[in-house]
C-alpha cells in the first residue's frame, strides 16, 4: 500500500513543479499554479494544515447613553422613554393617538429603596430601574434562562438612578420571576433582583 501512495504523491508534486495549471473553484489558476508558472522547476508544497477558525471576541457591553432631562428617547418598536430628575416615563406610540405618557415610575418617592433594582415589563420590553449612589453601566435581565443585556440610559451628572431597556420574553405575574443584575463599569455588582 505504501508503494502505491508514494508515486501518487510524487506525481502531484511533479505536476506542480512542472507548472501544470491548477484550478481553484473555476476562477483561475491557484496560488500554487501561479507560483510554479513564474519559477519553472521550483517546488511548491501545498499547506496541509487545517484552517483555524477565528477566536470569538467577547461581545462588548453597550455604552451607557447619557440623555437630557425631558428628552424623548426612541428605543425602537415605537417605544419612547423620557427621563427627568424625579421620574422615568414610558410611552407606546403604536397605540391609538400616539399613546399616552402615563406609565411613569417615580425615582424619588421612596417606593424603591436606594441601592436596589426593580423591573417593569410592557410586552416584550424589559425595563430595569436602578436607584442608588453607584454609577450603573451594565444591566442584565434573565427570563426563562435567557440573559438579555440592557442598554443603560442616564441623565448628566449624578441623578441617583439609571434605567435600562432590552427586548425579550415578556414578564407576567404568573410566570417565572425575572433575575436582574446591575453592575458598574468595572463589573462590581451594585444591585440584583430578586
Asked if 34 and 69 sit in the same domain, the reply is no
Examine residue 186 and state whether it is found in any structural domain, yes or no: yes
Asked if 16 and 101 sit in the same domain, the reply is no
Would you state the pLDDT for residue 31? Answer: 45
Would you state the pLDDT for residue 78? Answer: 93
* Cα–Cα distance, 58 to 50 (Å, whole number): 24
Examine residue 75 and state whether it is found in any structural domain, yes or no: yes
Examine residue 76 and state whether it is found in any structural domain, yes or no: yes
Sign of CA dihedral 23, 24, 29, 35: negative
Instruction: Report the length, in residues, of the chain.
Output: 194
C-alpha cell at 13: 508534486
Examine residue 15 and state whether it is found in any structural domain, yes or no: yes
Percent of the chain with pLDDT over 90: 55
Is the pLDDT score of 6 beyond 50?
Answer: no
* Cα–Cα distance, 179 to 143 (Å, whole number): 7
Domain, as residue range, for 12: 2-38
Judging by DSSP bridges, how do beta strands 179-183 and 138-143 pair with one another? antiparallel
Average pLDDT value over all residues in the chain: 79
Q: Confidence class of residue 35 from pLDDT cuts 50, 70 and 90?
A: very low
Is the pLDDT score of 163 beyond 80?
Answer: yes
Examine residue 139 and state whether it is found in any structural domain, yes or no: yes
Asked if 172 and 108 sit in the same domain, the reply is yes
Q: Confidence class of residue 165 from pLDDT cuts 50, 70 and 90?
A: very high
pTM for the predicted model, two decimal places: 0.68
Q: Tell me which residue of 156, 159, 161, 157 sits closest to 182, measured CA to CA.
A: 161
Examine residue 100 and state whether it is found in any structural domain, yes or no: yes
C-alpha cell at 72: 424623548
Asked if 86 and 29 sit in the same domain, the reply is no
Are 149 and 138 contacting, i.e. CB atoms less than 8 angstroms apart? Answer: yes
Asked if 30 and 126 sit in the same domain, the reply is no
Asked if 81 and 29 sit in the same domain, the reply is no
Are 163 and 129 contacting, i.e. CB atoms less than 8 angstroms apart? Answer: yes
* Cα–Cα distance, 104 to 125 (Å, whole number): 15
Amino acid at each position: 500500500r505504501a508503494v502505491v501512495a508514494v508515486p501518487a504523491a510524487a506525481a502531484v508534486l511533479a505536476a506542480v513543479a512542472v507548472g501544470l495549471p491548477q484550478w481553484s473553484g473555476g476562477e483561475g489558476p491557484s496560488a500554487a499554479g501561479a507560483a510554479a508558472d513564474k519559477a519553472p522547476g521550483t517546488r511548491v508544497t501545498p499547506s496541509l494544515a487545517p484552517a483555524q477558525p477565528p477566536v470569538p471576541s467577547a461581545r462588548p457591553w453597550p455604552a451607557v447613553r447619557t440623555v437630557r432631562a425631558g428628552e424623548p428617547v426612541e428605543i425602537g418598536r415605537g417605544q419612547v422613554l423620557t427621563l427627568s430628575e424625579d421620574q422615568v416615563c414610558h410611552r407606546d406610540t403604536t397605540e391609538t393617538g400616539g399613546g399616552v405618557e402615563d406609565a411613569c415610575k417615580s425615582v424619588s418617592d421612596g417606593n424603591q429603596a436606594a441601592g436596589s433594582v426593580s423591573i417593569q415589563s410592557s410586552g416584550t420590553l424589559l425595563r430595569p430601574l436602578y436607584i442608588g449612589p453607584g454609577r450603573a453601566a451594565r444591566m442584565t435581565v434573565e427570563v426563562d434562562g435567557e440573559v438579555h443585556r440592557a442598554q443603560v440610559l442616564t441623565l448628566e451628572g449624578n441623578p441617583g438612578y439609571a434605567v435600562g431597556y432590552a427586548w425579550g420574553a415578556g414578564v407576567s405575574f404568573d410566570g417565572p420571576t425575572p433575575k436582574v443584575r446591575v453592575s458598574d463599569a468595572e463589573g462590581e455588582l451594585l444591585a440584583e433582583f430578586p
